[in-house]
Structure 1
Amino acid sequence: MGRPSKKEERTEEILNAFYRCVARFGLEGSTLERIAEESGLKRSLVRHFVGNREELTGLLVDRVLQQSDEQWSAFMAMLPAQNGSHFLLDGLFSDQHSDPEFVLVIESLIFAAGRDDDMRKRMQVWMQSFTNDVAVILQKDYPDATTESIAAVSYGLISLYFNLDSLAPLGMNQQYRQPARTAAEYLLQTLESASSGKGA
């Protein structure tokens, strides 16, 4: 395999810089000037290697969703045959798997999707896939729980996950990590209660 071209190297540097900027300033606040400063390149070079702002945003969305899919697929491949729900909580709420920068970027893209039909559709597919996978994990552990209960708990777990690392700019995500995990366990207990109630 040959060495990456200069364009590939510069594009990677610019996308890394854009990613960091979006995590700090949001999508709208990530101006070409800030991206250029973060990447150590002139603004004209940023435009030369990645095109205009719309093209750059499209590249970022491609990259973020691809990386997310790869990481989630790897996580799902490690899912144990039993007690997958507790493995899920470890993945969502442990220090080891925490990635506040990723959550902040995803939330910025979700917010921006309200003004971009194509991005909205792509983010909807991503979010629905994530939610569906969580529901499948829960349904396997709690087969007697209703579809409505599974959907409610799935949404609750995902909401806790996003909310937790969205507090990173306040320096408060570590403070609330254990309470978030405990709240997630309480949600699982509602499925246990529902299952035991059906079996009674």
Structure 2
Amino acid sequence: MSHLTIKGDSMPRPSLKDQRSEEILDAFLTCVASFGLEGATQKRIATEAGVKRTLLRHYLGNRDEMISALTEHIVAGFAQTTDLLAQMLGADGGLEPLIDLLFDERDASDPRLMLAYQAMVASVDNYPEMRAPLLESLQRFLSVIEGAAKRSHPNHSPDTIRAVAHGISATYVNLDALSPLNPPADWHAAAKTAATLLASSLKEAQ
């Protein structure tokens, strides 16, 4: 799920502790996206953040607390993206404008979110407390797509709507998942076309 930029009112300047915690959390995100959750060692996180390893516990706590903070960070990032997508789509927006928003607003994307999400899913058996919030964040995103599909094709069965929503979601997030491969530029256009074809299948079935 790409991270769309939100411009809002100026916020109070964070404290030094909050700022440093965010920097370390961002470094943790980068390391998980690159090396997986187990590969994101304290040494790598500290090096990425430019701090001493002893400071990690001071700012984010022990390993379990760091993972909990990162889970919250990723879920919050997806929630921000999902809420902005719903806001930009509006109450009457259907599948066509939704696909345009998903695939034409990728310049501001942060593929680390999806890469880290996938890495955490791969480790969820070791950290089962991550399962519910990660699953819920994806369900919220799917609900926005399903809502757009229902508005465009209100007479279709919920099962068909859900299947198309899952297909569009999978096509969308796959672009971020493949970003480390630096795939050809035309894959982006092909992914949007695939999503459009999925949406068109609802028209053909009516």
TM-score (norm 2): 0.86
CA distance in 2, matches of 1:183, 1:42: 47
Could you say what secondary structure the match of 2:123 adopts?
A: helix
In structure 1, stretches of 5+ residues that fail to align are 196-200
CA distance in 2, matches of 1:100, 1:181: 17
- Structure number with bigger Rg: 1
CA distance in 2, matches of 1:70, 1:81: 17
In structure 2, stretches of 5+ residues that fail to align are 1-10
Instruction: Give the partner amino acid of 2:25.
Output: L
Equivalent in the alignment of 1:14 = 24
Instruction: Give the partner amino acid of 1:12.
Output: E
Match for residue 66 of structure 2 among 34, 56, 64:
56
Instruction: Name which structure has the greater RCO, CA cutoff 8 Å, separation 6+.
Output: 2
Q: Could you list the structure 1 runs, at least 4 aligned residues long, displaced by more than 4 angstroms after superposition.
A: 80-83
CA distance in 2, matches of 1:163, 1:71: 16
Equivalent in the alignment of 2:177 = 166
Aligned-pair Cα RMSD in Å: 1.9
Equivalent in the alignment of 2:142 = 131
Could you say what secondary structure the match of 2:31 adopts?
A: helix
In the alignment, is residue 32 of structure 1 matched against residue 70 of structure 2?
no
8 Å CA contact retained: 2:43, 2:53: yes
1:137-195 deviation line (CA, Å, top 9, x unaligned):
10111112221211110110111112122111111163411111111111011101122
Identity of aligned residues (%): 36
CA distance in 1, matches of 2:121, 2:187: 23
Which 10-residue stretch deviates more, 104-113 or 136-145? 104-113
8 Å CA contact retained: 1:166, 1:173: no
Instruction: Give the partner amino acid of 2:81.
Output: Q
Equivalent in the alignment of 1:198 = none
Equivalent in the alignment of 1:77 = 87
Equivalent in the alignment of 2:33 = 23
Equivalent in the alignment of 1:189 = 200
CA distance in 2, matches of 1:141, 1:55: 43
8 Å CA contact retained: 2:24, 2:45: yes
CA distance in 2, matches of 1:97, 1:152: 28
8 Å CA contact retained: 2:82, 2:144: no
Q: CA deviation at 1:114?
A: 3.1
